[in-house]
C-alpha cells in the first residue's frame, strides 16, 4: 500500500504548503463530482483525502512519521457526493439551473423526447420520409401512367401518375419511405413530378392548346382532317372559310380535373399554309381575282 506521501506525490520532507498544493492539484483531477460516472476516481479521491487528512494535521503527521499510527488511522466516514443525487430524481431541480428548453440536450434527443411527450413508447419511431423526382412526358402526365423509379439504393418504386398531374405536383406514397424502428410505421415517399414540355401540346388549366396547319383549299372549302389529341388522333371538321387564327374546340379532349373529375377541352388554332412551291395556276387565278375583289386586312396598322 502506498504511503500518504506517495499518494500525494511529495517527499517526506515536504512543507505543509507543498502538501496543500499537491493535494489541490490532485483533487482538481480526482474530485468525484468533477468526474461523474467514473467509479475509479472515487476510491482514488478517498485515498487522497485520507492521506491529506493525515499530513495536513501537524500533530497527526508527526505521530505517523514516528510510526505511532498507520496511514489508515484518519479515514473519514463515507460521504454522499453531489453526483450521487445529481442524476437521480432529486437532482432534477438543478438540471433547470442550466438546462433549459432550448439546450443542446433537448436537441440531441429531440425526436425521442417528442415521442415521449406524445405518450408513445420510445424507440417505436416512424421511418423517415423520402423525396424523389419523377420525370414524365406531357402525355403521361395528362392521361396518367405508371412509372418505375430507380432509387439510389438500387431498389425500384412503382409510381402511378394519376391523369391530370401538373408540373411540380407532389404525390405521396404512404408507407414507401424508410422503414420504421421498433415496429413503427414506415415513412412516406414524396414524388415530385416534373412534366416535360411537348412540341405540339400546351396546357392551360385543364384545357389543351394546339396549333394545326391546314392547306389553303382546306381553309376555303372546308374539310375533315385528322387532329392529334392526348388520346390519339381524332377527326376534326374544318368549316368552310376558316382562317389562320380560327379556333376550333374539341369538347372533352382536355385534361381531367383532379378535383371534379371532369375533362377540359382541346382548342385547335388553325394556321393556313400555302403550297411549298409556287404554283403558276394559283398565281394567275389570284391576279385576276385580286383585281376584282380588293380587300384590306391592315386597317389601323398603315400608320406607325
Partner 1 sequence: MMFTLQQVISEVGVTETDLQLWIEQRWVLPHRHNDDFVFDDVDLARARLIRELRVDLMVNEEAIPVVLSLLDQVHALRRTLARVNSAIDRVSPTAKAEIATLLKADD
**Which window, 26-34, 57-65, 211-219, 254-262, contacts partner 1 (CB under 8 A)?**
26-34
**Which window, 96-104, 131-139, 220-228, 284-292, contacts partner 1 (CB under 8 A)?**
96-104
Q: Which of 14/223 has CB closer to partner 1?
A: 14
Least Å from the CB of residue 28 to partner 1: 5
**Which window, 70-78, 83-91, 267-275, 295-303, contacts partner 1 (CB under 8 A)?**
83-91
Radius of gyration of the chain (CA): 45
Report 29-68 residues binding partner 1 (CB under 8 A): 31, 33-34, 36-37
Q: Are 51 and 45 in contact (CB under 8 A)?
A: no
Q: 287 to each of 115, 242, 244, 278, 299, how far by Cα in Å?
A: 86, 22, 22, 14, 22
Give yes or no for residue 182 binding partner 1 (CB under 8 A).
yes
| Distance, CA of 1 to CA of 78 (rounded, Å) | 20
Q: Three-class SS of residue 295?
A: coil
Secondary structure letter of residue 90 according to DSSP: G
Q: Which of 39/293 has CB closer to partner 1?
A: 39
**Among 237, 166, 219, 224, which Cα is nearest to 195's?**
166
User: Of these, 1, 11, 13, 28, which contacts partner 1 (CB under 8 A)?
Assistant: 28
**Which window, 81-89, 138-146, 162-170, 268-276, contacts partner 1 (CB under 8 A)?**
81-89
| Distance, CA of 257 to CA of 252 (rounded, Å) | 11
| Distance, CA of 49 to CA of 74 (rounded, Å) | 9
Give the cell for residue 103.
439546450
Least Å from the CB of residue 148 to partner 1: 29
Torsion of CA 180, 181, 185, 186, to 10 degrees: 0
Q: Which of 99/216 has CB closer to partner 1?
A: 99
**Pattern 100-119, binding to partner 1, x per CB under 8 A?**
---x-x--xx--x-------
Q: Which of 181/196 has CB closer to partner 1?
A: 181
Secondary structure letter of residue 91 according to DSSP: G
**Among 8, 110, 124, which Cα is nearest to 64's?**
8
Residues in contact with partner 1 by the rule CB under 8 A: 23-24, 27-28, 31, 33-34, 36-37, 79-87, 90-91, 93-95, 97-99, 103, 105, 108-109, 112, 122-123, 181-183
Amino acid at each position: 500500500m502506498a504511503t500518504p506521501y506517495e499518494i500525494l506525490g511529495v517527499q517526506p520532507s515536504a512543507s505543509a504548503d507543498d502538501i496543500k498544493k499537491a493535494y489541490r492539484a490532485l483533487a482538481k483531477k480526482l474530485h468525484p463530482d468533477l468526474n461523474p460516472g467514473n467509479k475509479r476516481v472515487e476510491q482514488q479521491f478517498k485515498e487522497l483525502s485520507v492521506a491529506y487528512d493525515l499530513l495536513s494535521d501537524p500533530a497527526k503527521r508527526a505521530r505517523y512519521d514516528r510510526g505511532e499510527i498507520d496511514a489508515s488511522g484518519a479515514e473519514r466516514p463515507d460521504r454522499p457526493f453531489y453526483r450521487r443525487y445529481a442524476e437521480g430524481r432529486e437532482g432534477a431541480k438543478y438540471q433547470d439551473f442550466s438546462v433549459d428548453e432550448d439546450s443542446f440536450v433537448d436537441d440531441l434527443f429531440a425526436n425521442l423526447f417528442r415521442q415521449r411527450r406524445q405518450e408513445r413508447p420510445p424507440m417505436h419511431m416512424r421511418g423517415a420520409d423520402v423525396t424523389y423526382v419523377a420525370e414524365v412526358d406531357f402525355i403521361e402526365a395528362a392521361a396518367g401512367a405508371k412509372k418505375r423509379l430507380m432509387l439510389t439504393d438500387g431498389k425500384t418504386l412503382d409510381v402511378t401518375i394519376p391523369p391530370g398531374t401538373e408540373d411540380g405536383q407532389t404525390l405521396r406514397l404512404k408507407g414507401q419511405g424508410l422503414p420504421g424502428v421498433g415496429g413503427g410505421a414506415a415513412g412516406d415517399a414524396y414524388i415530385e413530378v416534373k412534366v416535360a414540355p411537348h412540341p405540339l401540346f400546351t396546357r392551360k388549366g385543364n384545357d389543351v392548346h394546339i396549333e394545326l396547319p391546314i392547306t389553303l383549299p382546306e381553309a376555303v372549302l372546308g374539310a375533315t382532317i385528322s387532329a392529334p389529341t392526348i388520346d390519339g388522333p381524332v377527326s376534326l371538321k374544318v368549316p368552310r372559310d376558316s382562317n389562320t387564327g380560327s379556333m376550333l374546340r374539341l369538347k372533352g379532349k382536355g385534361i381531367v380535373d383532379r378535383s371534379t373529375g371532369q375533362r377540359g377541352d382541346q382548342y385547335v388554332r388553325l394556321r393556313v399554309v400555302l403550297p411549298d412551291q409556287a404554283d403558276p395556276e394559283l398565281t394567275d387565278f389570284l391576279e385576276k381575282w385580286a383585281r376584282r375583289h380588293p380587300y384590306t386586312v391592315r386597317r389601323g396598322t398603315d400608320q406607325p
